[in-house]
Amino acid sequence: MRLQTGASIRGLAIFLVLAASLVPSVRAQRQHYEVVAERGVPAKMRDGVVLRADIYRPKAEGKFPVLLQRTPYDKRGGVDFGYRAAALGYVVIIQDVRGRYTSEGEWYPFKHESDDGYDTVEWAAALPYSDGKVGMFGGLCLAFPFIASQLWLFVAPGLYRNERKAILPFLLASPVLFVLGGSFVYYVMLPVAIKFFTSFQTPGGHGMIGIQLLAKVSDYLDFVMTLIIAFGLTFQMPVLLGLLGRVGIISAKQLRSLRRYAIVGIFAVAAVATPPDVFSQLSLALPLLLLYEISILLVWMIEKKRAEEEAADASDE
């Protein structure tokens, strides 16, 4: 568990540093801030060792997303990046982990990595100008395979062999469908949605009031993360209905008879989970309708296989 936690924390740090790539579409509308640089800010670890970090942040009120980098090298290598990212509305934290070397006389690259990484993320999220949202979102996404594997290792010993064989494909399909939903948002829906929102801009002049989009990084990240989570969760429909069909709670016939109600429910969920525009609602509703039909086919295949197994057992008897 210690190694898994360390891996997720290291992945989280990489995710936070690369999070700037999430906002290329609103680069022209970003507000530029004055930058405050704080050198050698102490971050106390759970065993009392103090690690130092340089912080670059916007000189403005409010909370901002955090980009965290933990490095065993000289922090001055990130000065340029720190100033540029902070000017765009990020809090950049560059932590020098060589404090372990000075406190213990020798330093191993992965020694204390799990604890130090966890403590640093917790410390960074608690800063008064940190919103902590990017870290929580990235940590959840990157740690999901480890969380799912631990849940499976806990549940699997209590299942019969045929039950494990039946459930395992659904567990493997769940993260794939979540990634598929998130990818659909980022690569298909989001570019069109941003183009739609920016189309409301109008130039001023000749007695007319202009309309200009003043997008903030925090608002953009909230928007993107909400959509990714909403699509990722709703794309789990085949997994949920397939499991219910596997245990005999629902049948393909029932799903077909409930299709009209499912259509209404899907559009209601899409209206709540997406921004208030028709395109966003249809972007979620139409894939869900397709997934519902796939779920009906999946349950039908499960019933067909179950019937064949029961017929084979009856013929053996």
Span 22-40, average pLDDT: 64
- Asked whether the beta carbons of 111 and 238 are under 8 A apart, the reply is no
Residue 162 has pLDDT above 80, yes or no: no
CA distance 230 to 186: 12
- Please list the helix, strand and coil fractions of the chain in percent, rounded to the nearest 5, in that order: 65, 10, 20
CA distance 13 to 118: 10
For tokens 């969760």, the residue is 233
At 20 the pLDDT is 38
Q: Which residues pair with 211 in a beta bridge?
A: 202
pLDDT tens sequence across 95-111: 877 766 655 555 454 45
Type and span of the H or E element at 39: strand 35-44
Segments of the chain assigned to CATH 3.40.50.1820: 2-132
The CATH class that applies to domain 2-132 reads alpha beta
Span 261-275, average pLDDT: 87
At 27 the pLDDT is 40
- For 210-242, b where at least 16 C-beta lie within 10 A, e where not — what string? eeeeebebbebbebbbebbbbbbebbbbbbebb
DSSP at 31: P
CA dist 277 → 13, 181, 220, 289 (Å): 35, 19, 16, 19
Q: What is the CA radius of gyration of the chain?
A: 25
Which pTM does this prediction carry? Answer: 0.56
Q: How many residues are recorded in the chain? A: 317
CA distance 47 to 119: 10
At 96 the pLDDT is 78
φ, ψ of residue 61 to 5 degrees: the values are -75, 150
Predicted confidence band at 263 (pLDDT cuts at 50, 70, 90)? very high
Query: Any idea which of 14-28, 57-71, 86-100, 161-175 has the lowest mean pLDDT?
Result: 14-28
110, burial (CB in 10 Å: exposed 0-12, middle 13-18, buried 19+): exposed
Q: Which residues pair with 54 in a beta bridge?
A: 94
pLDDT greater at residue 16 or residue 131: 131
First vs last C-alpha separation in the chain: 47
Residue 9 has pLDDT above 50, yes or no: no
Strands 50-58 and 91-96, by their bridges, are antiparallel
pLDDT tens sequence across 179-232: 888 888 888 888 877 777 777 777 766 767 767 666 665 667 677 777 888 888
Query: Any idea which of 10-24, 107-121, 280-294 has the lowest mean pLDDT?
Result: 10-24
CA distance 292 to 93: 45
For tokens 């349950």, the residue is 299
At 260 the pLDDT is 92
- Asked whether the beta carbons of 170 and 204 are under 8 A apart, the reply is no
* Percentage of residues in the chain having pLDDT higher than 90: 10
Query: Any idea which of 32-36, 114-118, 194-198 has the lowest mean pLDDT?
Result: 114-118
